Amino acid sequence: MTFSARHPEVVQIVIRALEEDIGPGDVTSEACVPAGREASGRFVAREPMVLAGIELLPLIYELRGGVAELKLLKKSGDSAAAREVLATVRGRAHTLLECERVALNFLQRLSGIATLARRYVQAVAGTHCRILDTRKTTPGLRQLEKMAAAAGGAANHRMGLYDAVLIKNNHIAAAGGVRAALEHAAASGLPVQIEVRTQRELDKALACGARRLLLDNLTPERAAKWVSRIHRRATVELSGGITLENVRAYAESGADFISCGAITHSATGMDINFRLELA
C-alpha cells in the first residue's frame, strides 16, 4: 500500500486534530506572547526509537499559515537516538506554540507504532516469515497507523473490509460451509483467505482449492504440525496470542506471515520533546 502525507484522508485527520486542540484560538499564547514575535524550535528524541509521521509537520504548519523555515532531519522509518534532533522550525511564535501539541501527538503515537513494529520484525529476522499489521487501529487513524507500521518494517494487511476477502468462522456458518464460502468468494475477483480452526476444516479448505490460510490461536508446536500438513499447498498466516516473547517460536513453525494487532492497539507513545527559543 502507498501512503502520502497529502492523502485526502490524512489531510482531514490533521485538520480535525488542529481544530480539536486550537478551537477558536490559543488563548494562552494570545495573552502572553506578542503577535509578531519570531521563534525557533527543535523536535528532539528523548529515547531511542523508530521515527514515523515526521512528514506530517509541513502539512500541520501550512494549515496554520505556514512557517519561515522547516527542516526535516529524519524520515519515517529512520532510527533515532536519545537527544537526537529530528526536525527544526522557525516562524511566528504563535504558530509554533499552537501547533506544538498536535505535532507531538502524531509523532509520539506513530513513532511508538513504528518502534514496536520494528521489534517484532527484528524478532523474526532470519526466518522467511513476515510480520503483518491488522485492522485493530484507532478509529479514524488507520491510514496513519498503517503507515507507521510499514515504517517499522511490518507489511500492511488489508486496509478494510473492502479490499480483500477474509473468510472467518462466522462467514463459514452464514455461507453454509467451507466449500460454499470459498465458491462464493471466488467470484469477487479479490484475494481470498480463509480461517480454519480444526484439521477437518483445514483439509476441507485445501480440498476446495484454498490458497491462503489463516490459523488462529494455535500453540507454536501445533502451528508447526499444521504447516507441515499443509506442505506449501497454501500460504499460511498465524494470529492470536502472539507476543514479542513467543513470536520467534511461531515464525520458526514455517508460517509465511504472522499478524499482530498489538503493533497498533498496544503501542506506547515515544518520548519526543519540542524546545522553543526566541529567534
Q: Answer whether 181's CB lies under 8 Å from 171's CB.
A: yes
252 and 274, same structural domain? Answer: no
Closest to 93 in 3D by CA, of 188, 29, 50: 29
**Cell numbers found for residue 107:** 509523532
User: 21-74, pLDDT tens digit by residue?
Assistant: 999 999 999 999 999 999 999 999 999 999 999 999 999 999 999 999 999 999
The active-site residue, picked from 42, 74, 90, 101, is 101
Catalytic residue list contains 204: no
Banded model confidence at residue 267, pLDDT cuts 50, 70, 90: very high
pTM, rounded to two decimals: 0.95
Q: What percent of the chain has pLDDT over 90?
A: 95
User: 102-157, pLDDT tens digit by residue?
Assistant: 999 999 999 999 999 999 999 999 999 999 999 999 999 999 999 999 999 999 99
Q: Answer whether 97's CB lies under 8 Å from 29's CB.
A: yes
**Cell numbers found for residue 200:** 477437518
CA dihedral (219, 224, 229, 233) in degrees, to 10, reads: 110
112 and 55, same structural domain? Answer: yes
pLDDT at 118: 98
The active-site residue, picked from 90, 119, 136, 197, is 136
Average pLDDT over every residue of 76-81: 98
Q: Answer whether 125's CB lies under 8 Å from 248's CB.
A: no
273 and 242, same structural domain? Answer: no
99 and 28, same structural domain? Answer: yes
169 and 114, same structural domain? Answer: no
User: 194-229, pLDDT tens digit by residue?
Assistant: 999 889 999 999 999 999 999 999 999 999 999 999
Q: How far is CA 51 from CA 7, 26, 103, 141, in A?
A: 20, 28, 13, 17
Domain assignment of residue 273, given as a range: 8-121+267-278
In whole angstroms, give the CA distance from residue 248 to residue 125: 9
168 and 250, same structural domain? Answer: yes
Does any domain span residue 128? no
Banded model confidence at residue 3, pLDDT cuts 50, 70, 90: confident
Does any domain span residue 237? yes
Does any domain span residue 183? yes
End-to-end CA distance of the chain: 40
Q: Decide if pLDDT at 2 tops 80.
A: no
Does any domain span residue 201? yes
- 110: domain CATH number? 3.90.1170.20
Banded model confidence at residue 1, pLDDT cuts 50, 70, 90: low
**Cell numbers found for residue 142:** 488507520
In whole angstroms, give the CA distance from residue 27 to residue 16: 19
pLDDT at 126: 96
Q: Decide if pLDDT at 246 tops 80.
A: yes
Does any domain span residue 16? yes
44 and 101, same structural domain? Answer: yes
- How many domains in the chain? 2
Q: Decide if pLDDT at 274 tops 90.
A: yes
| Region for 177 from its dihedrals, namely left if φ exceeds 0, alpha if ψ lies in -120 to 50, beta otherwise | left
111 and 193, same structural domain? Answer: no
**Cell numbers found for residue 166:** 477474509
171 and 106, same structural domain? Answer: no
- 213: domain CATH number? 3.20.20.70
Average pLDDT over every residue of 85-104: 98
216, β-bridge pairs: 239
The active-site residue, picked from 26, 100, 145, 195, is 195
| Higher-pLDDT residue of 272, 198 | 272
In whole angstroms, give the CA distance from residue 68 to residue 181: 58
Does any domain span residue 214? yes
Catalytic residue list contains 71: no
105 and 163, same structural domain? Answer: no
Catalytic residue list contains 212: no
214 and 273, same structural domain? Answer: no
Catalytic residue list contains 74: no
Does any domain span residue 2? no
Does any domain span residue 129? no
The active-site residue, picked from 38, 216, 252, 271, is 216
Average pLDDT over every residue of 169-173: 92
**Cell numbers found for residue 246:** 513467543
247 and 273, same structural domain? Answer: no
Q: Answer whether 15's CB lies under 8 Å from 159's CB.
A: no
The active-site residue, picked from 119, 135, 168, 179, is 168
Give the number of other CB atoms < 10 A from CB of residue 104: 16
User: 177-198, pLDDT tens digit by residue?
Assistant: 999 999 999 989 999 999 998 8
